Protein backbone atom coordinates (compact mmCIF):
# COMPACT_ATOMS: atom_id res chain seq x y z
CA UNK A 1 0.00 0.00 0.00
CA UNK A 2 1.35 3.40 -0.93
CA UNK A 3 2.12 6.15 1.53
CA UNK A 4 -0.70 8.01 3.28
CA UNK A 5 0.21 11.68 3.71
CA UNK A 6 -1.77 14.13 5.86
CA UNK A 7 -1.45 17.88 5.37
CA UNK A 8 -1.60 19.67 8.72
CA UNK A 9 -3.13 23.13 8.84
CA UNK A 10 -2.01 25.36 11.71
CA UNK A 11 -2.23 28.86 13.09
CA UNK A 12 -1.50 30.63 16.37
CA UNK A 13 -3.77 28.16 18.14
CA UNK A 14 -1.65 25.22 16.95
CA UNK A 15 -2.50 22.32 14.61
CA UNK A 16 -6.19 22.49 13.76
CA UNK A 17 -8.55 19.91 15.22
CA UNK A 18 -9.74 19.01 11.71
CA UNK A 19 -6.15 18.18 10.73
CA UNK A 20 -5.69 15.98 13.79
CA UNK A 21 -8.96 14.20 12.94
CA UNK A 22 -7.57 13.52 9.46
CA UNK A 23 -4.43 12.12 11.08
CA UNK A 24 -6.52 9.91 13.37
CA UNK A 25 -8.51 8.56 10.40
CA UNK A 26 -5.31 7.89 8.45
CA UNK A 27 -4.06 5.74 11.32
CA UNK A 28 -7.06 3.42 10.90
CA UNK A 29 -6.25 2.74 7.25
CA UNK A 30 -3.14 0.68 7.91
CA UNK A 31 0.51 1.23 7.16
CA UNK A 32 2.77 4.06 8.25
CA UNK A 33 1.16 7.47 8.37
CA UNK A 34 3.14 10.53 7.32
CA UNK A 35 2.32 14.16 8.02
CA UNK A 36 3.32 17.34 6.21
CA UNK A 37 3.48 20.76 7.79
CA UNK A 38 4.60 23.93 6.00
CA UNK A 39 5.50 27.40 7.19
CA UNK A 40 8.08 28.75 9.63
CA UNK A 41 8.93 27.78 13.21
CA UNK A 42 7.42 24.30 12.89
CA UNK A 43 9.04 22.46 15.81
CA UNK A 44 5.99 22.57 18.11
CA UNK A 45 3.63 21.59 15.30
CA UNK A 46 5.83 18.64 14.33
CA UNK A 47 5.89 17.49 17.95
CA UNK A 48 2.08 17.65 18.08
CA UNK A 49 1.88 15.49 14.96
CA UNK A 50 4.15 12.88 16.55
CA UNK A 51 2.06 12.89 19.71
CA UNK A 52 -1.00 12.17 17.55
CA UNK A 53 0.45 9.14 15.84
CA UNK A 54 2.40 10.31 12.78
CA UNK A 55 5.29 7.95 12.14
CA UNK A 56 7.06 10.48 9.93
CA UNK A 57 6.63 14.25 9.92
CA UNK A 58 7.95 16.21 6.95
CA UNK A 59 8.52 19.92 7.49
CA UNK A 60 8.95 22.48 4.72
CA UNK A 61 10.12 25.85 5.98
CA UNK A 62 10.33 28.82 3.65
CA UNK A 63 9.62 32.56 4.03
CA UNK A 64 7.01 32.35 1.25
CA UNK A 65 5.09 29.85 3.39
CA UNK A 66 5.02 31.97 6.54
CA UNK A 67 1.30 32.52 6.06
CA UNK A 68 -1.05 30.63 3.78
CA UNK A 69 -1.00 31.71 0.14
CA UNK A 70 -2.60 29.28 -2.27
CA UNK A 71 0.00 29.27 -5.05
CA UNK A 72 3.22 28.82 -3.06
CA UNK A 73 1.68 26.32 -0.65
CA UNK A 74 0.16 24.22 -3.44
CA UNK A 75 3.47 24.05 -5.30
CA UNK A 76 5.36 23.03 -2.15
CA UNK A 77 2.81 20.37 -1.22
CA UNK A 78 2.74 18.97 -4.76
CA UNK A 79 6.52 18.58 -4.72
CA UNK A 80 6.39 16.60 -1.46
CA UNK A 81 3.54 14.38 -2.70
CA UNK A 82 5.59 13.55 -5.80
CA UNK A 83 8.77 12.91 -3.82
CA UNK A 84 7.00 10.66 -1.31
CA UNK A 85 4.95 8.91 -4.03
CA UNK A 86 1.94 9.25 -1.77
CA UNK A 87 -1.07 7.17 -2.78
CA UNK A 88 -3.54 9.04 -0.56
CA UNK A 89 -3.27 12.66 0.58
CA UNK A 90 -5.70 13.90 3.23
CA UNK A 91 -6.51 17.53 4.01
CA UNK A 92 -8.82 19.11 6.58
CA UNK A 93 -12.14 20.19 5.08
CA UNK A 94 -11.56 23.79 6.08
CA UNK A 95 -11.38 26.99 4.07
CA UNK A 96 -7.67 26.35 3.54
CA UNK A 97 -8.00 22.61 2.92
CA UNK A 98 -10.84 22.93 0.42
CA UNK A 99 -8.91 25.66 -1.38
CA UNK A 100 -5.58 23.84 -1.38
CA UNK A 101 -6.48 20.24 -2.26
CA UNK A 102 -7.95 20.96 -5.74
CA UNK A 103 -4.97 23.17 -6.59
CA UNK A 104 -2.51 20.42 -5.64
CA UNK A 105 -4.61 17.90 -7.59
CA UNK A 106 -4.44 20.14 -10.65
CA UNK A 107 -0.66 20.33 -10.43
CA UNK A 108 -0.43 16.54 -10.13
CA UNK A 109 -3.23 15.67 -12.58
CA UNK A 110 -4.73 13.67 -9.72
CA UNK A 111 -8.21 12.75 -8.48
CA UNK A 112 -9.66 15.00 -5.78
CA UNK A 113 -12.87 14.97 -3.73
CA UNK A 114 -13.75 17.58 -1.11
CA UNK A 115 -16.04 17.37 1.92
CA UNK A 116 -15.62 13.61 2.45
CA UNK A 117 -16.96 11.98 5.60
CA UNK A 118 -15.15 8.68 5.22
CA UNK A 119 -12.27 6.88 3.47
CA UNK A 120 -11.51 3.18 3.23
CA UNK A 121 -9.03 1.01 1.37
CA UNK A 122 -10.30 -0.71 -1.79
CA UNK A 123 -7.56 -2.95 -3.15
CA UNK A 124 -5.02 -0.73 -4.88
CA UNK A 125 -7.16 2.37 -4.55
CA UNK A 126 -9.52 4.04 -2.08
CA UNK A 127 -13.24 4.51 -1.60
CA UNK A 128 -14.29 8.01 -0.63
CA UNK A 129 -17.69 8.57 0.99
CA UNK A 130 -19.61 11.81 0.98
CA UNK A 131 -23.13 12.91 1.95
CA UNK A 132 -24.83 15.00 -0.71
CA UNK A 133 -28.09 16.82 -1.44
CA UNK A 134 -28.32 18.29 2.09
CA UNK A 135 -27.38 14.94 3.63
CA UNK A 136 -30.28 13.18 1.90
CA UNK A 137 -27.99 10.89 -0.13
CA UNK A 138 -24.71 9.09 0.44
CA UNK A 139 -22.32 8.73 -2.48
CA UNK A 140 -19.27 6.49 -2.77
CA UNK A 141 -16.45 7.38 -5.16
CA UNK A 142 -13.65 5.06 -6.26
CA UNK A 143 -10.99 7.05 -8.15
CA UNK A 144 -9.07 5.45 -10.99
CA UNK A 145 -5.33 5.73 -10.58
CA UNK A 146 -3.49 7.91 -8.13
CA UNK A 147 -2.57 9.79 -6.18
CA UNK A 148 -5.95 10.41 -4.56
CA UNK A 149 -6.57 13.68 -2.69
CA UNK A 150 -9.46 14.23 -0.29
CA UNK A 151 -10.58 16.78 2.27
CA UNK A 152 -12.23 15.38 5.40
CA UNK A 153 -15.20 16.89 7.20
CA UNK A 154 -15.47 17.50 10.91
CA UNK A 155 -16.48 14.35 12.75
CA UNK A 156 -14.63 11.73 10.67
CA UNK A 157 -12.59 10.64 13.72
CA UNK A 158 -11.66 11.61 17.24
CA UNK A 159 -8.42 13.59 17.37
CA UNK A 160 -6.94 11.53 20.20
CA UNK A 161 -3.24 11.64 21.00
CA UNK A 162 -1.12 8.53 21.43
CA UNK A 163 1.31 10.02 23.97
CA UNK A 164 4.70 11.64 23.94
CA UNK A 165 6.59 8.38 23.44
CA UNK A 166 5.86 8.20 19.73
CA UNK A 167 8.61 6.50 17.74
CA UNK A 168 8.10 8.85 14.80
CA UNK A 169 10.77 11.12 13.40
CA UNK A 170 10.84 14.64 11.98
CA UNK A 171 12.68 15.42 8.74
CA UNK A 172 13.09 18.77 7.02
CA UNK A 173 12.56 18.87 3.26
CA UNK A 174 13.53 21.51 0.75
CA UNK A 175 10.85 22.69 -1.66
CA UNK A 176 10.59 25.60 -4.04
CA UNK A 177 7.21 27.33 -3.54
CA UNK A 178 7.93 29.69 -6.41
CA UNK A 179 6.82 33.32 -6.59
CA UNK A 180 3.76 34.55 -4.74
CA UNK A 181 1.05 36.37 -6.67
CA UNK A 182 0.34 38.59 -3.67
CA UNK A 183 1.34 39.45 -0.13
CA UNK A 184 -0.49 39.17 3.18
CA UNK A 185 -0.30 42.60 4.78
CA UNK A 186 -2.19 41.80 7.95
CA UNK A 187 -3.53 38.65 9.55
CA UNK A 188 -5.57 38.29 12.72
CA UNK A 189 -6.48 34.96 14.31
CA UNK A 190 -8.89 34.90 17.23
CA UNK A 191 -7.85 32.84 20.22
CA UNK A 192 -10.15 29.94 21.00
CA UNK A 193 -12.33 30.54 24.04
CA UNK A 194 -14.87 27.73 23.57
CA UNK A 195 -14.21 23.99 23.32
CA UNK A 196 -17.49 22.30 22.44
CA UNK A 197 -15.77 19.14 21.25
CA UNK A 198 -14.72 18.17 24.77
CA UNK A 199 -17.93 19.33 26.48
CA UNK A 200 -19.82 16.48 28.16
CA UNK A 201 -23.03 18.51 28.47
CA UNK A 202 -24.26 21.03 25.88
CA UNK A 203 -27.39 23.17 25.89
CA UNK A 204 -28.12 24.12 22.29
CA UNK A 205 -30.40 26.93 21.24
CA UNK A 206 -32.17 27.41 17.93
CA UNK A 207 -34.29 30.01 16.20
CA UNK A 208 -37.17 29.17 18.52
CA UNK A 209 -35.32 30.73 21.45
CA UNK A 210 -36.36 34.03 19.95
CA UNK A 211 -33.79 36.55 21.20
CA UNK A 212 -30.37 37.14 22.68
CA UNK A 213 -32.02 37.93 26.01
CA UNK A 214 -33.78 34.55 26.02
CA UNK A 215 -30.40 32.87 25.57
CA UNK A 216 -29.45 34.03 29.07
CA UNK A 217 -31.87 31.39 30.41
CA UNK A 218 -30.03 28.73 28.42
CA UNK A 219 -26.75 30.01 29.80
CA UNK A 220 -28.10 29.68 33.34
CA UNK A 221 -29.24 26.12 32.62
CA UNK A 222 -25.85 25.21 31.14
CA UNK A 223 -24.10 26.71 34.18
CA UNK A 224 -26.27 24.67 36.55
CA UNK A 225 -25.34 21.50 34.64
CA UNK A 226 -21.66 22.37 34.29
CA UNK A 227 -22.03 22.43 30.53
CA UNK A 228 -21.51 24.66 27.51
CA UNK A 229 -23.82 26.64 25.25
CA UNK A 230 -24.20 25.56 21.62
CA UNK A 231 -26.32 26.97 18.82
CA UNK A 232 -27.76 26.46 15.37
CA UNK A 233 -26.66 28.55 12.41
CA UNK A 234 -29.89 30.57 12.60
CA UNK A 235 -29.04 31.64 16.15
CA UNK A 236 -25.51 32.60 15.14
CA UNK A 237 -26.69 34.50 12.06
CA UNK A 238 -29.16 36.39 14.26
CA UNK A 239 -26.25 37.55 16.41
CA UNK A 240 -27.51 35.92 19.59
CA UNK A 241 -24.33 33.86 20.13
CA UNK A 242 -20.80 33.77 18.69
CA UNK A 243 -19.91 31.70 15.63
CA UNK A 244 -17.55 29.47 17.65
CA UNK A 245 -20.65 27.98 19.32
CA UNK A 246 -22.26 26.89 16.04
CA UNK A 247 -22.97 23.16 15.74
CA UNK A 248 -23.77 21.37 12.51
CA UNK A 249 -22.78 21.07 8.89
CA UNK A 250 -21.16 24.52 8.82
CA UNK A 251 -20.13 24.45 12.47
CA UNK A 252 -18.55 21.80 14.67
CA UNK A 253 -19.46 18.18 15.32
CA UNK A 254 -19.92 17.34 18.99
CA UNK A 255 -20.10 14.14 21.05
CA UNK A 256 -21.55 15.09 24.45
CA UNK A 257 -23.03 12.70 26.96
CA UNK A 258 -26.08 14.97 27.10
CA UNK A 259 -27.37 17.40 24.48
CA UNK A 260 -30.38 19.56 25.39
CA UNK A 261 -31.93 21.06 22.27
CA UNK A 262 -34.00 24.13 23.07
CA UNK A 263 -36.13 25.71 20.36
CA UNK A 264 -34.37 23.71 17.65
CA UNK A 265 -36.57 22.47 14.83
CA UNK A 266 -34.21 19.72 13.71
CA UNK A 267 -32.91 20.72 10.29
CA UNK A 268 -30.59 18.06 8.88
CA UNK A 269 -27.72 20.58 8.72
CA UNK A 270 -27.80 20.77 12.52
CA UNK A 271 -28.52 17.10 13.14
CA UNK A 272 -25.30 15.97 11.46
CA UNK A 273 -23.42 17.87 14.16
CA UNK A 274 -25.08 16.02 17.08
CA UNK A 275 -25.40 12.53 15.60
CA UNK A 276 -22.85 11.15 18.09
CA UNK A 277 -24.51 12.63 21.19
CA UNK A 278 -25.28 9.83 23.67
CA UNK A 279 -28.52 11.34 24.96
CA UNK A 280 -30.63 14.03 23.29
CA UNK A 281 -33.33 15.89 25.21
CA UNK A 282 -35.48 18.26 23.14
CA UNK A 283 -37.73 21.10 24.27
CA UNK A 284 -40.06 22.43 21.59
CA UNK A 285 -43.59 23.77 21.46
CA UNK A 286 -44.25 21.99 18.15
CA UNK A 287 -45.13 18.31 18.78
CA UNK A 288 -44.26 17.47 15.17
CA UNK A 289 -40.81 19.10 15.20
CA UNK A 290 -38.28 16.92 13.30
CA UNK A 291 -35.86 17.13 16.26
CA UNK A 292 -38.16 14.81 18.19
CA UNK A 293 -37.43 11.97 15.75
CA UNK A 294 -33.82 11.79 16.95
CA UNK A 295 -34.47 12.61 20.62
CA UNK A 296 -34.34 10.19 23.52
CA UNK A 297 -36.53 12.43 25.65
CA UNK A 298 -39.11 14.92 24.34
CA UNK A 299 -40.63 17.88 26.14
CA UNK A 300 -43.51 19.56 24.31
CA UNK A 301 -43.95 22.99 25.80
CA UNK A 302 -43.03 26.65 25.86
CA UNK A 303 -39.30 26.92 26.50
CA UNK A 304 -39.90 30.14 28.46
CA UNK A 305 -41.79 28.05 30.99
CA UNK A 306 -39.84 24.78 30.79
CA UNK A 307 -36.28 26.12 31.04
CA UNK A 308 -36.85 28.27 34.19
CA UNK A 309 -38.55 25.27 35.81
CA UNK A 310 -35.52 23.09 35.06
CA UNK A 311 -33.22 25.72 36.52
CA UNK A 312 -35.38 25.85 39.65
CA UNK A 313 -35.38 22.06 40.01
CA UNK A 314 -31.59 21.97 39.71
CA UNK A 315 -31.34 24.33 42.66
Q: Does a structural domain hold residue 187?
A: no
| Predicted local distance difference test score (pLDDT) of residue 144 | 84
Q: Are residues 166 and 284 in the same domain?
A: no
State the virtual CA torsion across 104, 8, 32, 166 in degrees, nearest 10: 160
Q: Give the end of a domain, one of 123, 139, 172.
A: 172
Q: Are residues 208 and 123 in the same domain?
A: no
Measured distance between the N- and C-terminal CA atoms of the chain, rounded to whole angstroms: 58
Q: Give the end of a domain, one of 138, 172, 206.
A: 172
Q: Are residues 136 and 226 in the same domain?
A: no
CATH number of the structural domain spanning residue 269: 3.40.50.1220
Q: Are residues 160 and 205 in the same domain?
A: no
Q: Does a structural domain hold residue 207?
A: yes
Q: 178 — phi, psi (to 5°)? A: 75, -175
| Predicted local distance difference test score (pLDDT) of residue 158 | 84
Q: Which is nearest to 67 in space by CA: 175, 173, 151, 189? A: 189
Which tens digit of pLDDT belongs to each residue from 232-274? 999 999 999 999 999 998 888 899 999 999 999 999 889 989 9
| Predicted local distance difference test score (pLDDT) of residue 1 | 56
| Predicted local distance difference test score (pLDDT) of residue 300 | 96
Q: Does a structural domain hold residue 177?
A: no
Query: Which residues form the domain of 150?
Result: 3-172
Helix axis angle for 95-108 and 70-84, nearest 10°, is 60
Q: Are residues 8 and 120 in the same domain?
A: yes
CATH number of the structural domain spanning residue 14: 3.40.50.620
Q: Are residues 153 and 200 in the same domain?
A: no
Q: Does a structural domain hold residue 142?
A: yes
pLDDT band at residue 167 using 50, 70 and 90 as cut-offs = confident
Q: Does a structural domain hold residue 182?
A: no
Q: Are residues 14 and 156 in the same domain?
A: yes
Q: Does a structural domain hold residue 181?
A: no
Q: How far apart are CA 233 and CA 84, in angstroms?
A: 41
Mean pLDDT of 199-221: 94
- More confident: 135 or 51: 51
Contact 248, 264 (CB under 8 A): no
Q: Are residues 84 and 131 in the same domain?
A: yes
Q: Does a structural domain hold residue 262?
A: yes
Check whether 30 has a pLDDT greater than 90: no
Q: Are residues 216 and 117 in the same domain?
A: no
Q: Are residues 117 and 12 in the same domain?
A: yes
Domains held by the chain: number: 2
Q: Does a structural domain hold residue 279?
A: yes
Percent of the chain with pLDDT over 90: 70
Q: Are residues 211 and 292 in the same domain?
A: yes
| Predicted local distance difference test score (pLDDT) of residue 315 | 80
Which tens digit of pLDDT belongs to each residue from 117-132? 999 988 888 999 998 8
Q: Are residues 25 and 131 in the same domain?
A: yes
Residues 6+ apart with CB under 8 A from 133: none
Which tens digit of pLDDT belongs to each residue from 80-94? 999 999 999 999 999
Amino acid sequence: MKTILVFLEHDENGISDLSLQALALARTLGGGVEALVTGEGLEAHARTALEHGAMQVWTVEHPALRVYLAGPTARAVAQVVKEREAGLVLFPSSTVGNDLAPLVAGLLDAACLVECDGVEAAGDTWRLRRTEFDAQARAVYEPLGGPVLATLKDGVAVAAGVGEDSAGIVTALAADPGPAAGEVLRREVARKTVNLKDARIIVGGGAGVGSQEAFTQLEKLAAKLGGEIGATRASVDAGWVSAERQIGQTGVTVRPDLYIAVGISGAVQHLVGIRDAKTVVSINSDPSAPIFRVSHYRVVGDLNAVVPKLIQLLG
